Structure 1
């Protein structure tokens, strides 16, 4: 088929590679503009999708908007059978959605209608969901409200981080979209409207919610940590005000006596008391330093038992 691919981050790259490998004619790749980088912001860094598309010798477009007539006419002129959209980053207005003969299809990293919106991977883990997955959806003008053609599920392991789930769903989505396109080409791809029940929204992560609240039960603290790892990272402060991100944690042995205040260091392994139970920090990153194991961190930072973290 003649396809337009629209995506920007690393998450979208496996899908682009798989679609190209299956022999589809990718007539254009739409992605966000290159970002300024370097110390002075003078260097331009293309998106991961643009870099991959360039390797594949594909035509790349980076419009600032798709709302003007010229951009919409250019899109329609490709006469695509379908468009595949993966974390593109721009809203597709109705003339764009309607241009491909068979429609625009999105790989969404959740089990729709749960976790519509910007941060479905983070929110699924932060909420303690036992599973996630990818949904192949025919796009409409709503926010992830289109009819669903295919759903592939994936269990979320107890200590799985958002970064690990991101990578697993990226691969799963690439496999799902090529199967969906094959069915679409045969005329056998079916669609199911999303139910009204079970709709939740995955709001963009706000910096204000990244600080660890040790007063919560250990499972909530653990979900918060792994749901924000590796980026933007859940964090606490040492006594001197230094910020430390926690990149990995697990359930710790809770306090065996007394009722220590939440945030109290319980042992020499960075086990921290929570409102109920405890978590043990496994990998951390001090501001301005590299990520390291808890053991490495403690060799250079004195955090004795009974210290109360904030």
Structure 2
């Protein structure tokens, strides 16, 4: 097929590479503009742009697309069979949805209708789901509400974080998109409407999503830590300073009692009390203004006063 590919971060790269390897004609790659990153705020190109240029593909980076007449004319001249949309980060306007004969085909990182929105992988893990997956769908004007084309599931191991799942789903999704293109070409795929009553949200993450609520059970806190890696992570406060928890584990602590957020030290190990007499071990932490370190190093030379609680200002 003649394709236009819309994508931005590394999650979209395997799909772009796969369609090129499969012999499809990628007539244009559309990605977001270069953005400043890091402390130096140096402009950095999106991962999809880097991949496209390495492959010798034409790239455009429009700031806006809805009323961009130049961009619209460019796509109409190409007249693609399909537009692939993988983590592009822009709402696709109706004129673009109506342009290709096979429509706009989206790869979404969940088993729709579950987890519609900007952060489906993170929320699935944060909510303790045992399975997730990838969906290809026919985009419409709603938010991830289009007809399902193909789906494939995968198990989430209890120790897996979002950082573990992202590359696995991106590779799985690339294969699924190739199957989708082949099935559409052969006429063997039937579009399946979503059951909107089963939809669950996966909204964009905020910094406050990473704030640890010790009034919740340890497993709930642990799952949110797994889901929100690398950002917004998991954080709380200790004696008025931000404390980032880089690694934690739900655990049992015998012979100790404390209210939610209460700290318990056992040798070189540090534990925090959660709801229902459950505990998490704080394995690796970082106090505001300090470097990241193991709890044992943090405790060395530091005496925690009895009754010290996390989350207090």
TM-score by length of 2: 0.91
Partner of 2:283 in structure 1? 282
Alignment of 1:18-29 (within 5 A): 18-29=18-29
Instruction: Show the 5 A alignment for 1:75-224.
Output: 75-224=75-224
Measured in 2, the distance between the counterparts of 1:94 and 1:135 equals 21
C-alpha deviations, 1:80-126, integer Å up to 9, x for none?
Answer: 11111111011111110111121111010111001111111121122
**1:261 corresponding residue in structure 2:** 259
Q: Which runs of 5+ in 1 are unaligned?
A: none
Match status 1:251 vs 2:250: yes
**Pairwise CA distance, 1:155:** 1.3
- 1:258-286 per-position Cα deviation (integer Å, ceiling 9, x unaligned): 53121222323222211121112233344
Residues 65, 295 of structure 1: alpha-carbon distance in 2 compared, 3 angstrom cutoff: same
Matched-pair contact (CA < 8 Å) for 1:249–1:281: yes
Distance 1:295 1:259, change over 3 A: closer
Number of corresponding residues: 307
Specify the alignment match of 2:73 in structure 1. Answer: 73
Deviations 1:189-236 (A, max 9, x none): 221110122111111112223211112111111112111111121102
Change (3 A) 1:300 1:119: farther
SS in 2 for 1:44: strand
What CA deviation, in whole Å up to 9, does each residue of 1:153-176 have, x standing for no partner? 111211221221222211211121
1:52 aligns with 2:51: yes
Aligned equivalents of 1:305, 1:174: Cα separation in 2: 53
Asked whether the 8 Å contact 1:253–1:271 carries over to 2, the reply is no
**Does the CA contact (< 8 Å) of 1:226 and 1:247 recur in 2?**
no
Contact 1:250 1:279 in 2 (8 A): yes
Q: Quick check: 143-152 or 185-194, which moved more? A: 185-194
Tell me how large the CA RMSD over aligned residues is: 2.1
Structure 1 residue matching 2:284: 3-state secondary structure: strand
Unmatched runs of 5 consecutive residues or more in structure 2: none
Q: Distance in 2 between matches of 1:39 and 1:161?
A: 26
Deviations 1:227-247 (A, max 9, x none): 1111121102222x3322223
Whether contact under 8 Å (2:209, 2:232) holds in the other structure is no
1:309 and 1:142 mapped to 2: Cα distance? 41
1:229 maps onto 2:229 in alignment:
yes
